[in-house]
Amino acid sequence: MTINKQILRLAIPNIISNLSVPMLSVVDTALMGHLPNSWSIGAVAVGSMVFNFVYWGFGFLRMGTTGLTAQARGKEDDKESSMILTRALLVAGIAALFLLLFQYLIAEISFGLIHASDNVEYFAKSYFYIRILAAPATLALYALTGWFLGMQNARFPMVVTIVVNILNVAFDAWFVLGLGMGSDGAAWGTVISQYTGLLLAFYFLKRYFSNYIRRFSLAQILHKNELIRFFKLNGDIFIRTLCLIFTFSFFTAESASLGDKILAVNAILLQLWSVFSYGIDGFAFAAESLTGRFFGARDTEHLKSTVGFIFLWGTGLGAFFSLALLAFGREIISLFTNQTAIIETTIRYLGWTVAAPVINSISYIWDGIYIGAAASKAMRNTMLLALFLFFLPVYYIAVPYLGNDGMWLAMLLFMAIRGISLTLLAKKNIFRFA
């Protein structure tokens, strides 16, 4: 099978499943946007932002699991592949227990840092306390999805994700519109659908990978060197992800300080960022699987070909998203809300989002490649550089003069610096066996 076919075999299911993820947030935002108040959008945006901190921080359960599993597969080490999954599920269970036990503290700290209106904060808190119940299912799904992808299987995660999000949309529509539950209905829809998805993922694991389940060994799970490697890789990814979460959460929190209308506008634009980022991440996920496999096998020729073709596909998809936003921006925004003032203000700032897909695609694709190569230290360091030397300084310098335009300038520069720095470090970290 050619490299291009391998890329598309992994990327297309990932794109389909990935695009269904932001569709859920799009539906939530659209449902809130058609309620007779402006704070409903803000409540879901702020509540979701808190979960970005809570859940994205554990994104290493997917990313690290994919990279390590792909490398184990490249080495044809089936037993280690099994142990990686078991370690990831163990960490997921412990993390979920921690979140449930300390949910009140997490909520008080999170909402204490956000300068939202009283109405937004009240409904966002209610949303949080319901949705946190899904923590065990959400984190376990991260580990299972990462393992399936590392095993070069993108079809099972696609099916699980699509089922989860179809159920979520259906429950959201029923609870919000049918039962009049508002933002609480959106939270309950998420909880029910996440546990359904977990059951489906375990069915696939038992039905098609039973030989890996039988390789369970407590001694291997607790093997010192492998545990150190697991936590070192995932520790770097954790720090990198926290920086990314902080950036987007800081952006949302500062949007709230500019008023409910700007918060709603920026929430809609960030939903568009989410849509194209999840789409492009389909190729980034393919990069994780294939880069890890060829890196583990020390197959430099196929590694270089994979990187080249994935960049062509990923940046090309980014350009498509930019053209679509340029041509149909007003129509797309109108899907989120029927409030004229919010639509017109969103269009005022749309140019920043039109430019974003191509610029952002470079860092998204490199992330996948670096994860596959387990080059987590470089990912961590470039993220710290982009956040502390570019995003925050530009934000504090530009916003007093440019307002919301200054916020978007800082955000776009943050993404550009990540892509540039990862490109400069690729020879040392990705192609070091060449």
pLDDT tens digits, 166-213: 898 888 888 877 787 777 888 888 899 999 999 999 999 998 887 776
How many beta carbons lie within 10 A of that of residue 101, not counting itself?
A: 10
Residues 221, 225, 228, 232, CA torsion sign: negative
Residue 231 or 4, more confident: 4
- The reply to whether 273 falls in a domain is yes
The rounded distance, in Å, linking the Cα atoms of 394 and 256 is 19
> Crossing angle for the helix pair 260-296 and 135-150, nearest 10 degrees?
40
- The reply to whether 434 falls in a domain is no
pLDDT tens digits, 233-290: 677 888 888 898 889 888 988 887 777 788 888 988 988 998 888 889 889 988 988 8
Rounded to a whole number of angstroms, the CA Rg of the chain reads 21
Closest CA to 59 of 403, 385, 419, 379: 379
Number of domains in the chain: 1
- The reply to whether 126 falls in a domain is yes
Quote the pTM value: 0.79
- The reply to whether 193 falls in a domain is yes
Enclosing domain of residue 356: 3-429
- The reply to whether 104 falls in a domain is yes
For residues 58 and 137, is the Cβ–Cβ distance under 8 A? no
pLDDT tens digits, 370-428: 988 888 899 999 999 999 999 999 999 999 999 899 999 999 999 999 999 999 999 88
Contacts of 252 (CB under 8 A, 6+ apart): 45, 46, 49, 114, 263, 266, 267, 270
Residues of the chain with pLDDT > 90, as a percent, come to 34
- The reply to whether 120 falls in a domain is yes
For residues 146 and 62, is the Cβ–Cβ distance under 8 A? yes
Which range is least confidently modeled, 67-76, 195-204, 350-359, 374-383? 67-76
